[in-house]
Amino acid sequence: MGRITARRPIERITVGRGSARRVDTLAVEEPLEIRLAGRPLAVTMRTPGHDVELAAGFLVSEGVIARGEDFRGAIHCGGPGAGGEGNTYNVLDVALAPHVAPPSPDLARSFYTTSSCGVCGKASIDAVETVSSYDVATDAATVPAERLAQLPGVLRAHQAAFDKTGGLHAAALFRAGEADAGAPDADDAAPLVVREDVGRHNALDKAVGWALLGGRLPLSGTVLQVSGRASFELVQKAVMAGIPILSAVSAPSSLAVELAERSGLTLVGFVRGDTMNVYTRGDRVV
């Protein structure tokens, strides 16, 4: 898996049975500096891979861009620590379309200091409601409860890097409704995309970036399935991408529920076996 995983020697201890030396596989974590037209914008700790998607999704999440035509391209370049020895692939320079206004320097500094955890607090909820280009409250998508119950297992089956490391979060996008019988893509059980990363926010940004680069925003009529808890930040990113339904295998935070309620997003948590908790917009779960 290239730079996604790394192998390190460890001592494995079994209580009552002693210890043994072995090699363990770890998830790689490295910094990625995102630049806009050569100027530093944000630094995030991520698992290498799908970096262009990560940058594109991050810019969607922060309201800088909203559609595929806003994103012109990106290239890895040498960065701090390269020492003249070549490209570190830890700096990505992004070019936006001429019609996209760059973020102000003050906003760029804010990105730089908070990119690891996203936005927080009451003012941020108001900002999300104001900035998002998409109104998820008007999305008419519905999803059968039986289908939601299956999604964690489908997501888990596609987590190749997690199988090796046990240390990666994942985010996947699915179609919400039943497939049309005669449609070419009739297998709605299959995910549209799955992305893994040491950061749950990065995994989602990669999935959203995939959608942006493919001209698929807004993500109307989709379900976002995540492998962990539903934080405020994940709800924020879903709203910014136009995703109407967010399903998580673990608990949501109080602020995540508040933002989901105010934004009209369906938030489902503790999706385990045949049970789940529906926190907001339960009319979409049938």
Q: Which residues are catalytic?
A: 117
**SS3 of residue 245 by DSSP:** strand
**SS3 of residue 112 by DSSP:** helix
- φ/ψ of residue 234, rounded to 5: -65, -40
What HEC string does the chain produce? CHHHEEEEEEEEEECCCEEEEEEEEEECCEEEEEEECCEEEEEEEECCCCHHHHHHHHHHHCCCCCCHHHEEEEEECCCCCCCCCCCCCCEEEEEECCCCCCCCHHHHHHHHHHCCCCCCCHHHHHHHHHHCCCCHHHCCCCECHHHHHHHHHHHHHCCHHHHHHCCCEEEEEEECCCCCCCCCCCCCCCCCEEEEECCHHHHHHHHHHHHHHCCCCCCCCEEEEECCCECHHHHHHHHHHCCCEEEECCCECHHHHHHHHHHCCEEEEEEECCEEEEEECHHHEC
| Residue 214 in tokens | 């493919």
- The edge-to-edge listing of strands for the beta sheet with 222-226 is 193-197, 169-175, 222-226, 245-248, 266-272, 275-280
